[in-house]
Structure 1
Amino acid sequence: MNSKLTLDQLVAAPKVVLHEHLDGGVRPQTLIEIADEIGHELPATEAGALADWFFDAADSGTLARYLETFDHTIAVSQQADHCFRIASEAAQDLAADGVVYAELRYAPEQQLRGGLSLEAVVEATLAGFAEGERLAEKAGHPIKARTILCGMRHADRTLEVAKLATAYRDKGVVGFDIAGGEIGNPAEAHLPAFEYLRRENMPFTIHAGESVGPESIRGAVSVCGANRIGHGVQLIKDIDLTGDEAKLSNLAHYIRDRRIALEVCPSSNLQTEGAESIETHPIKDLYDLGFRVTVNNDNRLMSRTRTSREFHLLAETFGWGWAEVRRCTENAVKAAFLHHPERRALLEDVVRPAYAALESA
């Protein structure tokens, strides 16, 4: 058992986030100010009380109720200056927690109520990330913030958004995803979008195995060809752990063999019934079995969390030390949708030297 890492130690460590919803990390005070400006009614008008409301509502135990909380964050994301502000603050907040690289995802089709075009949403958000990077660098916390564009799995614009993602390739958009309620909305229903992305050589991840079992992951990987899996914790149901040696299904073998990363979000999984408790969360077994596990926030506002807290929770529960934190961070770098030279530089110039120093301290 490793000695317990402190939260302050973990804040100081460089971290990489691959699964972060932009509309799930809005500052409560920003919500209040924009809502007041546009006349949107919130369930609370004081920042602390509003933060409590989001956490309590998201903590109901179902993905459907969890997703309802986004009605408010989406409502304040309908104007270009608001998109800019939210993106800039998200980059700064992640950087202040020691995140050096983040892929933040959002669904631009949900931000058109005020008359913005899809392109205007993307451009305002990318400009906000650039400003957030600049301010974070100035504050002594450098970060690279990149974007994954989401199509909504219960809607019919996924191919359109996939084309939007490729149009902004190398301008800050690095990939594509589908989000929304997993139950009753299989990834395979959006196969034309994924076929298009494969033809265009654009990487994509798919939410799967969060609230639906291994069959959802099988569709995302075997049918659609996902490069990564958002959550993926239900894969544990395809692994027999009752004997002396784990017995993996062909799907589980394939995901491990092909190094398909699992974007695990521990606190969020507890809120959406992806796991019954942190003590029984599949992340430890998946990590111990050699899957490419990464640790992520999902939605910082709804889960009242940050990356350092997620690692601290795992350190407190499973006795994880620097070796486990480093491996998950390196996993995330290797699975990032950056070009290879950028991944290599991030790994060799930032992550590995920092952890070598932390481990020897």
Structure 2
Amino acid sequence: MTIDPFGDARVEGVSIRSLPKVSLHDHLDGGLRPDTIVELAEEAGVDLPETDPARLASWFARQSDSGTLEKYLETFAVTTAVMQTRAALTRVAKEFVEDLAEDGVIYGEVRWAPEQHLAGGLTLEEAVEAVQEGIEQGEDAADDDGRSIRVGQLLTAMRQNDRSAEIARLAVAFRDEGVVGFDLAGPEDGHPASAHEAAFALLGESFLPVTVHAGEGAGPASIRSALLDGRALRLGHGVRIAEDLEIVGREGEEVRVRFGDLARWVRDREIPLELAPSSNLQTGATAAWGKTLEDHPFDLLYQLGFAVTVNTDNRLMSRTSLTRELALLVHTFDYGLDDLEAFQLNAAAGAFLPVEEREELIELIGEGFAA
């Protein structure tokens, strides 16, 4: 099925794009507009595989559909190359927020790795300030357009490097200036959260929320390390928690499942899974179950009571939007408005916000779906 990432779809007669949505897992360097990449590349003297925006968008989609996380990550060399100045970071962040607002997102968390944006001479602090400036410009522009949105930064450390403690200190320093939490990303297999003990100790002592990419490029052992060593409050993707479930029988449409200790802990503690259906297929995270969305364990996890959330991961690479991801799930699993609302409520409950603000967000979602 083809669904236009820039179009709309309807469920029970209601526009999905018009529904209030929460985006928890969305990378800044994976959400650039193709025409912006072309313009910034020309200014910076960066060579591109395609200089026509439409063909460049197609190139990203083809390159990202590799079946492995490592190949998928290679495309980011292009986007980060044009994000090395204050002006570029501010522009990209502003447009990022505008595009979220256009898609009906009312709260979002944007994750990005400051350590990857220093080639143009910026300091880590200057890079964070540049992105925050863009976020605030995007929020103001959306407000002027009649859309209300709030976006917080998740500062990401790259797990294959040795700067995680430094990025953790940076996140704590900017916690009152737009940063809402910390993320660990990069090649997952062979780079467990346990290798970043100093960073997570600092974050724990500072009570700064943490999400860790786990259960995407590696299995349950990686998830266990994210929870125990990384003190993660959410799991970045986490789709491979389904490997800790054993289907022991079926009765009609009902599936009987035996839980492993890890899966039961994640389910019972309502630890949010930041699932990204299209991306999960592209990176091979769901290869153990099949190659189509019908094979994705999303519905199994949802029916079993896991705190599933729906995300885009990288809108450029997956040529998608949150509206499109929800539309694909509706088409594949015959979900209705109540299901889509449940996904947004799960995301709102897992947002790295004070409880009062999460409750306000939950009220906005309820009001928006009721309307």
TM-score by length of 1: 0.96
Report the 3-state secondary structure (helix = DSSP H, G, I; strand = E; otherwise coil) of the residue aligned with 2:126.
helix
Q: What is the rounded CA distance, in whole Å, between the counterparts of 2:151 and 2:125 in structure 1?
A: 18
Aligned pairs (5 A) from 1:55-134: 55-134=61-140
Match of 1:258 in 2: 269
Q: Find runs of 4+ consecutive structure 1 residues off by over 6 angstroms.
A: none
Q: Percent identity?
A: 48
Q: Tell me, yes or no, if the aligned pair for 1:147 and 1:172 is still in contact at 8 Å.
A: yes
Give the counterpart letter for 1:272 in structure 2: T
Q: Tell me, yes or no, if the aligned pair for 2:107 and 2:151 is still in contact at 8 Å.
A: yes
Q: Which moved more, 1:5-14 or 1:138-147?
A: 5-14
Q: What is the rounded CA distance, in whole Å, between the counterparts of 1:8 and 1:111 in structure 2?
A: 41
Deviations for 1:149-194, whole angstroms, at most 9, x for unmatched residues? 0000000000000010010112110000111111111111011111
From 341, 358, 362, the equivalent of 1:326 is 341
Q: Tell me, yes or no, if the aligned pair for 1:7 and 1:308 is still in contact at 8 Å.
A: no
Match of 1:300 in 2: 315
Match of 1:340 in 2: 355
Deviations for 1:232-271, whole angstroms, at most 9, x for unmatched residues? 0001010012325211111111111111100000000010
Structure 1 residue 141: Cα displacement: 1.9
Q: What is the rounded CA distance, in whole Å, between the counterparts of 2:122 and 2:116 in structure 1?
A: 10
**Unpaired runs of 5+ in structure 2?**
1-8, 251-255
Q: What is the rounded CA distance, in whole Å, between the counterparts of 1:105 and 1:85 in structure 2?
A: 16
Q: What is the rounded CA distance, in whole Å, between the counterparts of 2:144 and 2:246 in structure 1?
A: 50
Aligned pairs (5 A) from 1:342-361: 342-348=357-363, 350-357=364-371
Q: What is the rounded CA distance, in whole Å, between the counterparts of 2:284 and 2:13 in structure 1?
A: 26
CA RMSD of aligned residues (A): 1.3
Report the 3-state secondary structure (helix = DSSP H, G, I; strand = E; otherwise coil) of the residue aligned with 2:248.
coil
**Unpaired runs of 5+ in structure 1?**
none
Give the counterpart letter for 1:158 in structure 2: S
Q: Tell me, yes or no, if the aligned pair for 1:4 and 1:319 is still in contact at 8 Å.
A: no
Match of 1:46 in 2: 52
Structure 1 residue 6: Cα displacement: 7.6
> In 2 relative to 1, CA 44–6 (structure 1 residues): closer, same or farther, beyond 3 Å?
farther
Q: Tell me, yes or no, if the aligned pair for 2:210 and 2:230 is still in contact at 8 Å.
A: no
Report the 3-state secondary structure (helix = DSSP H, G, I; strand = E; otherwise coil) of the residue aligned with 1:48.
helix
Q: What is the rounded CA distance, in whole Å, between the counterparts of 1:229 and 1:101 in structure 2?
A: 18
Deviations for 1:23-74, whole angstroms, at most 9, x for unmatched residues? 0000000000000001000000111000000000001111111100000110
Deviations for 1:279-331, whole angstroms, at most 9, x for unmatched residues? 01011000100001000000000000000000000000000111110001000
Give the counterpart letter for 2:341 in structure 1: R
Aligned pairs (5 A) from 1:166-181: 166-181=172-187
From 331, 335, 350, the equivalent of 1:316 is 331
TM-score by length of 2: 0.94
Give the counterpart letter for 2:368 in structure 1: A
Q: Tell me, yes or no, if the aligned pair for 2:114 and 2:155 is still in contact at 8 Å.
A: yes
Give the counterpart letter for 1:253 in structure 2: R
Give the counterpart letter for 2:132 in structure 1: L
From 19, 22, 27, the equivalent of 1:21 is 27
From 205, 226, 236, the equivalent of 2:232 is 226
Q: What is the rounded CA distance, in whole Å, between the counterparts of 1:323 and 1:84 in structure 2?
A: 37
Give the counterpart letter for 1:130 in structure 2: E
Report the 3-state secondary structure (helix = DSSP H, G, I; strand = E; otherwise coil) of the residue aligned with 2:128.
helix
Q: Which moved more, 1:57-66 or 1:32-41?
A: 57-66
Aligned residues: 354
